[in-house]
């Protein structure tokens, strides 16, 4: 028996250097290094030099700590935007930024200084020197983490101008921020007003929430009667005819704030009772009568009448300590849990009281000085006494005047200064504000009006509900308090006049800005007022007060709210660097509706009258796989380093592209495994295409496209081209709407279904067994080449490393830069007849499944007859066997269902030794092998 010829060597089997295993954790850092050394960012910029710009602007993350998965999500989504814009042929100069100033850093630095004992030494320095010492530490801290984060962000394969980033602490940036401020000042949006803040008496400074420690403290708790002014109006409110004058009973744990009492707040929809308590007529919340009676030890109580809180509003009472009247006001925050349901209101000593005071037009009265003692506006028996002594004196006074109903000791949690561990007080101080309801003096509307207008009409929102959310927040936001009493920040360049009033005009701000632009904001702490105002021309400043003597000025020491700095980036970065204004897009987490989105919008409208962004994209927050928020303290936080080590940046990016980012995003290691599987599927599909192009002619992309389009529409290649063209359109449309998930799914399904399960399986026979240069094979190769060209471009935004790796495998040495390419824009309409063909293939597959049970395991052993009553399948007949993965197909216009034949029992359908197919032409050839006509011809026997 002659030895059977081995035909394997005569086949065109696939070959490629593109590895099946991506090995991303090692390969990505190498790619990154190559990009950096060959100046990828510059090369891309150069390729798009003359292209129309896509203006995209980075919201600055805070320069604190390592990046977490939230940064990963945000930065990767932004990179998708950048890279999709570039692949669309746009110029996208993307500048990464960092927010550097602010309390979190200063707080950490201070904690470090306290722990190392250096803080005590600071106390010996002058105020400016102390501030400078702190600022130097803070700047070093910020720089350190900027460096760390920049490396980590680049490791995510993000494309940005990392050589020229922006920091809010850069001198030019600071000057740009002051420029925004100067215009707002000029237009009358800025004003100074009292506002209560947490105040440390020991350190004579305002404190932020983070600087407070809550500790238990024992304070006096007192019930005080405030006598009504007009008995008849009270009688009217309760529909009674009492002969005595009633009192309103209030409760407080800070008796020292009573001298600042200007009002009593009631809940408008709660019931209040007029009752007789041990002979005195008193008003208390109805639901609290019993409780209060018990606490104050009343012996007899009887309720005379009820009235709604709203009926009491407007009534007046005599202040129990001072010679003035107060009035009853309504407030929603009044509760029935403690006290009397009538809340002592001192707008200078409490946040709620303050807002109520503003609303009611009450003065923000604060008779307490920065050293914690009463000033001369307080009753004279309190002058010079501190507030804690004031507590005792007030109680004594109330007792002797008969206003004190009851006093007891009360233990509660009370805020303390974290450094001196002394109790803090709420004290009104002068702060700077940007008014949202002031019309401005340049004839425009208020910031709120302008903001609502652009949010309602011109700004685009992705997703759309962002509009609603931002609108709601703009509706309810109060004036913006932009001053902070700290060291680490951009100084508000205001000076103090001898009479204590503030001096600051747009011209003086611009003069200071000039210093800061060269010397940085440190200049404020190292230079004298005269030096800072060297460029200020008093005579030319109409806004300066009459008779101003510059030599009498001293520097004030408030700094800006960091949000004002970040909110000026459209000017400090985009306009200062001539990158274009407004931005096409801001993209941040949904928390930035309150933060950066809103606080960029307001200053920008005040200065330019235009929103700084044309569209807003928001993403949700990452939560764990059970939908719980992620936190280190909960132990459910994923480390970015772990992800990169175990999966690589591209699997992470592939995962990001797969999520629906509006709303919460669940994240778990398992999801990365899924993304990894899906990535591998795509990679293998690319590999199959590449490996079958090993001997393809050196077509240009145009030539390949022409070749592929020349294949008959009824051929496998004709079908693929239609699908490919559709894919390209779908993905680009999804990109345009920032719907990355839709793009991801379209690409994956194309690779998985159209290619892997469809085209690749069907094309194998011609690729492997046809003669190398048969037209059929070359058409297939041309189609595959074009498919690769398109896929590399479509994948590039998601998988820059893999897309480039495939691109170089495709184009070989000297391949042009992938990111200098643009989409091909293949125009080939889908041929609708293919729907019928795909349906026929599906019915054959089904039939084969049944045939398996009859023993036909291998589809190549099957021949099939397919019904084709309308004759639509006829033109596709030459491709049907390959499409079904079987050996023979015949069509039957009279057939009703698919009929499967077992070709193993058919003498005329032997198996070809080379192609393994039973196409009916197989016979013994000269070399002793069983070959079909096609294979015999290829082998040459």
Partner RNA sequence: GCGCCAGUAGCUCAGUUGGCUAGAGCACACCGCUGAUAACGGUGAGGUCGAUGGUUCGAGUCCAUUCUGGCGCACCA
Q: Scanning residues 391 to 420, which ones bind RNA (CB under 7 A)?
A: 412
Which DSSP string do the residues of 369-411 spell out, in sequence order? -TTSBB-TTS-GGGBT-BHHHHHHHHHHHHHHHT-EEEEEEEE
User: Is residue 487 part of the contact set for RNA (CB under 7 A)?
Assistant: no
Q: Give the residue, chosen from 663, 867, 875, 920, that forms a contact with RNA under the rule CB under 7 A.
A: 663
Structure tokens at 657: 């592209």
Q: How far is the CB of 617 from RNA (least distance, A)?
A: 14
Tokens standing for 601?
A: 């919008």
Report in angstroms the alpha-carbon separations of 378 from 386, 642, 914. Answer: 12, 62, 107
Q: Which of residues 255-274 bind RNA (CB under 7 A)?
A: 257, 265
Please say which residue, 35 or 251, places its beta carbon nearer to RNA. Answer: 251
Share in percent of the chain as helix, strand, coil (round to 5): 45, 20, 35
- Tokens 């999966």 correspond to 647
Establish if 671 lies at the interface with RNA (CB under 7 A): yes
The bridge status of strand 97-98 relative to strand 613-619 is unpaired
Are 435 and 191 in contact, with CB atoms under 8 Å apart?
Answer: yes
Among 105-113, 253-261, 308-316, 479-487, the segment contacting RNA (CB under 7 A) = 253-261
Is there a cis peptide before residue 582, judged by omega within 30 degrees of 0?
yes
Among residues 395, 459, 659, 704, the one that binds RNA under rule CB under 7 A: 659
Distance (Å, whole) CA 567 – CA 603: 7
Of the two residues 95 and 206, which places its CB atom closer to RNA in the complex? Answer: 206
**Minimum separation from the CB atom of position 673 to RNA (A):** 8
Smaller CB separation from RNA, 171 or 347: 347
Smallest distance from the beta carbon of 166 to RNA, in angstroms? 24
The residue whose two tokens read 């696939």 is 14
Smallest gap from Cβ 241 to RNA, in A, equals 31
**Residue whose C-alpha is closest to residue 163's, from 66, 94, 254:** 94
Cα 431 to Cα 120, 140, 206, 480, 564: the distances in Å are 29, 29, 11, 10, 14
Q: Cβ of 229: how many Cβ atoms within 10 Å?
A: 15
**Is the Cβ of residue 175 or residue 194 nearer to RNA in the bound state?**
194
Choosing from 160, 769, 795, 803, the residue that interacts with RNA (CB under 7 A) is 769
The interface with RNA within residues 603-622 (CB under 7 A) comprises 620-621
Q: Which residues between 735 and 764 bind RNA (CB under 7 A)?
A: 741, 748-749, 752-753, 755-757, 760-761, 764
Site for RNA in 863-902 (CB under 7 A): 885
| Residues within window 575-604 making contact with RNA, judged by CB under 7 A | 589-591, 593-594
- Other C-beta atoms closer than 10 Å to the C-beta of 19 total 12
Interface with RNA in residues 183-202 (CB under 7 A): none
CB 358 within 8 A of CB 193: no
What number of chain residues touch RNA (CB under 7 A)? 87
Q: Is 772 near RNA (CB under 7 A)?
A: no
**Alpha-carbon span 8 to 11, nearest angstrom:** 6
The footprint of RNA on residues 56-95 (CB under 7 A) is none
**What character string, x for contact with RNA (CB under 7 A) and - otherwise, covers 512-551?**
----------------------------------------
Tell me the closest approach of the beta carbon of residue 83 to RNA, in angstroms: 22
Least distance to RNA, CB of residue 8, Å: 4
677 binds RNA (CB under 7 A): yes
Report, in Å, the least distance between residue 683 CB and RNA. Answer: 9
- Residue 485 interacts with RNA (CB under 7 A): yes or no: no
Element (H, E) at 215: strand 212-227
Query: Stretches 86-94, 250-258, 637-645, 805-813: which one binds RNA (CB under 7 A)?
Result: 250-258
Cβ atoms of residues 561 and 481 within 8 Å: yes
Among 240, 636, 684, 774, the residue binding RNA under the rule CB under 7 A is 684
Name the nearest CA neighbour of 719 among 729, 707, 711.
Answer: 711
Kindly tell me which of 340 and 821 has the beta carbon lying closer to RNA. Answer: 340
By CB under 7 A, residue 465 contacts RNA: yes
Verify binding: residue 3, RNA, rule CB under 7 A.
no
- Least CB distance to RNA at residue 674 (A): 4
Instruction: Report DSSP letters for 235-252, one per residue.
Output: HHHHT---SSPPEEEEEE
Q: Does 254 bind RNA (CB under 7 A)?
A: yes
| The pair of three-digit structure tokens given for residue 27, joined into one six-digit string | 């390969």
Asked if 451 interacts with RNA (CB under 7 A), we say no
CB-CB contact of 798 with 741 (8 Å): no
Nearer to RNA, 11 or 313 (CB): 11
Q: Rule CB under 7 A: is residue 845 a binding residue for RNA?
A: yes
Least separation in angstroms between CB 753 and RNA: 7
Question: DSSP strand E in 253-393: where?
Answer: 263-266, 271-277, 280-285, 301-308, 316-318, 325-330, 343-345
d(CA 596, CA 612): 11
Residue of 5, 7, 84, 747 that binds RNA (CB under 7 A): 7
Strand-pair category, 301-308 with 271-277: antiparallel
Return phi, psi of residue 884, to 5°: -90, -10
* 276 touches 291 (CB < 8 A): no
Q: Cα–Cα distance between 798 and 784 in angstroms, integer? A: 21
Q: Which stretch binds RNA (CB under 7 A): 169-177, 245-253, 389-397, 568-576?
A: 245-253
Token duo for residue 465: 């509900």
Q: How many residues comprise the chain? A: 941
**Nearby residues of 383 by Cβ (< 8 Å), 6 or more positions away:** 374, 375, 376
Q: Applying CB under 7 A, which of residues 629, 706, 893, 924 lies at the interface with RNA? A: 629
Q: What's the DSSP call for residue 556?
A: -
Nearer to RNA, 342 or 607 (CB): 342
Q: Which is nearer to RNA, 179 or 765 (CB)?
A: 765
Site for RNA in 902-921 (CB under 7 A): 914-916
Query: What is the DSSP secondary structure assignment for residue 752, as one 8-state letter?
Result: I
Among 3, 49, 115, 337, binds RNA (CB under 7 A): 337
Residues between 342 and 371 that touch RNA (CB under 7 A)? 343-344, 350-352
* Closer to RNA by Cβ: residue 541 or 664: 664
Beta strands (DSSP E) in 59-112 are 97-98
Q: How far is 725 from 561, CA to CA, in rounded Å?
A: 51
Please give the structure tokens belonging to residue 353. 């009281």
Angstrom distance (rounded) from CA 935 to CA 5: 13
Residue choice 38, 335, 456, 554 for contact with RNA (CB under 7 A) = 335
Check residue 680 for interaction with RNA (CB under 7 A): yes
- Among the candidate windows 363-371, 463-471, 719-727, 773-781, which touches RNA by CB under 7 A? 463-471
Q: Does 681 bind RNA (CB under 7 A)?
A: yes
Which residues, numbered 134-163, are part of the site for RNA (CB under 7 A)? none
Closest approach of RNA to the CB of residue 924, in Å = 17
Q: For residues 569 and 585, give the distance between their C-alpha atoms in angstroms, rounded to a whole number.
A: 13
Find the part of the chain contacting RNA (CB under 7 A) among 240-248, 368-376, 660-668, 808-816: 660-668
Contacting RNA (CB under 7 A), which of 280, 322, 473, 519? 473
Q: Are 725 and 828 in contact (CB under 8 A)?
A: yes
CB of 822 to RNA, least distance (A): 28
Name the minimum Å distance from CB 747 to RNA: 12
| Binding residue (CB under 7 A) for RNA from 84, 253, 391, 508 | 253
Check if the beta carbon of residue 581 is closer than 8 Å to that of residue 617.
no
13 binds RNA (CB under 7 A): yes
């Amino acid at each position: 028996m002659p030895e059977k010829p081995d035909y394997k060597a005569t086949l065109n089997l696939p070959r490629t250097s593109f590895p099946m295993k991506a090995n991303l954790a090692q390969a990505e850092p190498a790619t990154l290094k190559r990009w950096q050394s060959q100046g990828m960012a510059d090369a891309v910029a150069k390729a798009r030099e003359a292209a129309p710009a896509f203006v995209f602007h980075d919201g600055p993350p805070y320069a604190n700590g390592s990046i977490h998965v939230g940064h990963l999500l945000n930065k990767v989504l932004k990179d998708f935007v950048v890279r999709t814009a570039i692949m669309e042929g746009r110029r996208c100069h993307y500048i990464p930024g960092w927010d550097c100033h602010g309390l979190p850093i200063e707080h950490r630095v201070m904690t470090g200084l306290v722990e190392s004992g250096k803080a005590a030494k600071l106390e010996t320095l002058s105020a400016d020197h102390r501030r400078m010492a702190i600022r130097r530490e803070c700047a070093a801290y910020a720089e350190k983490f900027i460096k760390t984060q920049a490396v980590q962000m680049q490791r995510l394969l993000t494309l940005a101008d990392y050589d020229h980033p922006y920091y809010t602490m850069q001198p030019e940036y600071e000057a740009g921020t002051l420029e925004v401020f100067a215009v707002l000042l000029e237009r009358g949006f800025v004003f100074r007003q009292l506002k209560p803040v947490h105040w440390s008496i020991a350190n004579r400074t305002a404190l932020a929430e983070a600087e407070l420690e809550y500790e238990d403290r024992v304070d006096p708790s007192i019930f005080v009667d405030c006598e009504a002014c007009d008995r008849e109006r009270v009688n009217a409110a309760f529909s009674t005819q009492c002969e005595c004058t009633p009192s309103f009973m209030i409760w407080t744990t800070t008796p020292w704030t009573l001298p600042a009492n200007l009002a009593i707040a009631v809940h408008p929809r709660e019931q209040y009772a007029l009752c007789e308590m041990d002979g005195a007529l008193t008003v208390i919340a109805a639901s609290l009568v019993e409780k209060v009676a018990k606490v104050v030890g009343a012996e007899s109580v009887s309720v005379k009448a009820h009235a709604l809180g709203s009926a009491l509003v407007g009534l007046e009472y005599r202040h129990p300590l001072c010679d003035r009247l107060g009035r009853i006001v309504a407030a929603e925050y009044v509760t029935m849990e403690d006290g009397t349901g009538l809340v002592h209101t001192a707008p200078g000593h409490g946040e709620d009281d303050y807002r109520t005071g503003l609303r009611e037009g009450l003065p923000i009265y604060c008779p307490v000085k920065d050293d914690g003692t009463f000033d001369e506006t307080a009753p004279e028996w309190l002058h010079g006494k501190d507030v804690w002594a004031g507590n005792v004196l007030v109680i004594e006074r109330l007792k002797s005047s008969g206003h004190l109903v009851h006093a007891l000791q009360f233990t509660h949690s009370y805020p303390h200064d974290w450094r001196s561990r002394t109790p803090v007080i709420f004290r009104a101080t002068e702060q700077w504000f940007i008014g949202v309801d002031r019309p401005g003096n340049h004839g425009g509307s208020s910031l709120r009006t302008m903001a609502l207008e652009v949010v309602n009409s011109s700004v685009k929102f992705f997703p759309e509900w962002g509009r609603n959310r931002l609108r709601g927040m703009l509706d309810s936001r109060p004036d913006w308090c932009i001053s902070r009493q700290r060291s680490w920040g951009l100084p508000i360049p205001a000076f103090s006049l001898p009479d204590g009033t503030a001096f600051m005009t747009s011209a003086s701000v611009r003069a200071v800005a000039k210093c800061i632009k060269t010397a940085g904001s440190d200049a404020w702490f190292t230079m004298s007022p005269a030096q800072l105002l060297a460029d200020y021309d008093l005579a030319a400043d109409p806004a300066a007060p009459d008779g101003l003597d510059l030599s009498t000025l001293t520097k004030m020491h408030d700094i800006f709210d960091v949000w004002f700095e970040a909110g000026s980036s459209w000017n400090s970065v985009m306009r200062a660097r001539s990158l274009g204004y407004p931005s096409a897009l801001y993209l941040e987490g949904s928390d930035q509706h309150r933060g950066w989105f809103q606080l960029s919008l307001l200053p920008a409208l005040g200065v330019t009258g235009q929103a700084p962004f044309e569209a807003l994209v928001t993403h949700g927050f990452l939560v764990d796989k059970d939908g719980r928020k992620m936190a280190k303290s909960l132990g459910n936080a994923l480390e970015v380093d772990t992800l990169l080590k175990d999966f690589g940046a591209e699997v992470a990016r592939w995962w990001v592209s797969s999520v629906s980012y509006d709303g919460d995003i669940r994240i778990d290691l398992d999801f990365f495994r899924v993304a990894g599987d899906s990535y591998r599927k795509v990679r293998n599909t690319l590999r199959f295409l590449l490996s079958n192009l090993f001997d393809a002619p050196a077509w240009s992309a145009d030539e390949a496209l022409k070749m592929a389009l020349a294949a008959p529409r009824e051929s496998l290649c004709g079908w693929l081209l239609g699908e490919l063209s559709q894919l390209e359109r779908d993905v680009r449309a999804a990109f345009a709407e920032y719907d990355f998930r839709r793009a991801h799914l379209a690409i994956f399904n194309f690779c998985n279904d159209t290619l892997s399960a469809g085209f690749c399986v069907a094309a194998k026979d011609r690729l492997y067994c046809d003669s190398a240069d048969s037209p059929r094979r070359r058409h297939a190769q041309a189609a595959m080449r074009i498919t690769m060209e398109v896929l590399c471009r479509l994948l590039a935004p998601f998988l820059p490393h893999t897309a480039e790796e495939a691109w170089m495998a495709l184009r070989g040495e000297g391949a042009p830069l992938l990111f200098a390419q643009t989409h091909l824009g293949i125009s080939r309409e889908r041929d609708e007849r293919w729907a019928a063909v795909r349906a026929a293939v599906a019915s054959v597959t089904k039939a084969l499944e049944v045939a398996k049970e009859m023993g036909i395991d291998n589809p190549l052993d099957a021949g099939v007859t397919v019904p084709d009553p309308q004759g639509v399948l006829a033109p596709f007949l030459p491709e049907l066997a390959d499409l079904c993965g079987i050996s023979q197909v015949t069509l039957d216009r009279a057939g009703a269902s698919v009929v499967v034949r077992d070709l193993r029992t058919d003498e005329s359908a032997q198996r070809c030794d080379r192609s393994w197919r039973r196409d009916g032409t197989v016979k013994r050839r000269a070399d002793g092998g069983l070959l079909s006509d096609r294979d015999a011809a290829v082998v040459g026997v």
